[in-house]
Amino acid sequence: MGTPLDSREEQVVEVLDRLYEEYPDTDISLDFSTRLELLVAVVLSAQCTDERVNDVTEDLFEKYRSAEEYADASEEELAEDIYGITFHNSKAGYLKGIGEILVAEHDGEVPDTMSALTDLPGVGRKTANVVLQHAHDVVEGIVVDTHVRRLSRRLGLTEEERPEAIETDLMGIVPEEDWRMFTHLLISHGRATCTARNPDCADCVLADVCPSEKGDSEIDLDSGEPW
């Protein structure tokens, strides 16, 4: 077991320092070139890999270039065009609904407030945070996905379980200028080393400060279960 720093604030700064060093170029891994494309990609990425989303959106973004085009398409056609994405039928409905609301209420543009974004179908706080950060450069919170949840808990940064509660907890300890990169750094580390099933603690740059480190700790603080 590694030894975490005395306070969660110090622990988070140490984790950030080391991960900035380890993943200097990390950023969002979804492909997009407009705000609308980003919104669509993030909606499609719920419970689906970014790689799969990027495969599908390559053609999708050629075909649908405006909110009107999503609004005017039939759900069946949209579902076919995003086939291969998890829950493609429901997400086709979201895309059409999003297109309709953007046209009716926002002149076809992607809004820049948390409340307007979360009023769109298929858009929760996590999706809205990603869109605000990467489309509008507005950082209102911390994106908590499955990697951020798992690593924050393993590293002793939070004991909360629900994404919204984890976000609030983290916002109290992560320096505000790092809110956006915190997510990308933890996602990169979650993919490369601290994977869900078999984290490579022996080769982890955080091992000596991680209270879940497998070498000595018997417990994975994320699941609360023995390794």
Cβ distance to ligand SF4 smaller for residue 169 or 213: 213
Neighbours of 184 (CB within 10 A): 20
Interface with ligand SF4 (CB under 6 A), residue from 37, 81, 169, 213 = 213
**Among residues 79 and 166, whose Cβ is nearest to ligand SF4?**
166
- The least distance separating ligand SF4 from the CB of residue 121, rounded to whole angstroms, comes to 35
Q: Which stretch binds ligand SF4 (CB under 6 A): 71-79, 115-123, 174-182, 206-214?
A: 206-214
Token pair, residue 23, equals: 């993943």
- Check: CB of residue 204 under 8 Å from CB of residue 195: no
Residues in the chain: 227
Whole-number Å distance between alpha carbons of 101 and 179 = 29
Q: Is 210 in the site for ligand SF4 (CB under 6 A)?
A: yes
Which residues are paired to 219 by β-bridges?
226
Q: Is 220 helix (H, G, I), strand (E, B) or coil?
A: strand
Whether 126 sits among the annotated catalytic residues: the reply is yes
The residue from 106, 193, 225, 226 that contacts ligand SF4 (CB under 6 A) is 193
**Exactly one of 31, 72, 145, 220 is catalytic; which is it?**
145
67: nearest Cα among 96, 43, 44: 96
CB atoms under 10 Å from CB of 65, counted, come to 12
- For residue 226 the two structure tokens come to 């023995």
Of residues 193, 195, 206, the one with CA closest to residue 156: 206
Q: Which residue lies nearer to ligand SF4 by CB, 69 or 178? A: 178
Q: Does 206 bind ligand SF4 (CB under 6 A)?
A: yes
User: Is residue 226 within a helix (H) or strand (E), and if so which, with residue range?
Assistant: strand 225-226
Q: How far is the CB of 226 from ligand SF4 (least distance, A)?
A: 13
Residue 185 touching ligand SF4 (CB under 6 A)? no
CA 92 from chain centre, in angstroms, equals 20
- If the CB atoms of residues 149 and 214 are measured against ligand SF4, the closer one turns out to be 214
The answer to whether 1 touches 217, Cβ cutoff 8 Å, is yes
Q: Within 10 Å of residue 166's Cβ, how many Cβ atoms? A: 20
Stretch that binds ligand SF4, among 107-115, 120-128, 162-170, 212-220 (CB under 6 A): 212-220
- Contact range with ligand SF4 by CB under 6 A, out of 37-45, 81-89, 122-130, 199-207: 199-207
Query: Is 145 an active-site residue?
Result: yes
Which residues, numbered 143-182, are part of the site for ligand SF4 (CB under 6 A)?
A: 154-155
Residues at the contact surface with ligand SF4, assessed by CB under 6 A: 154-155, 193-194, 199-201, 204, 206-207, 210, 212-214
Active-site residues, by number, are 126, 145
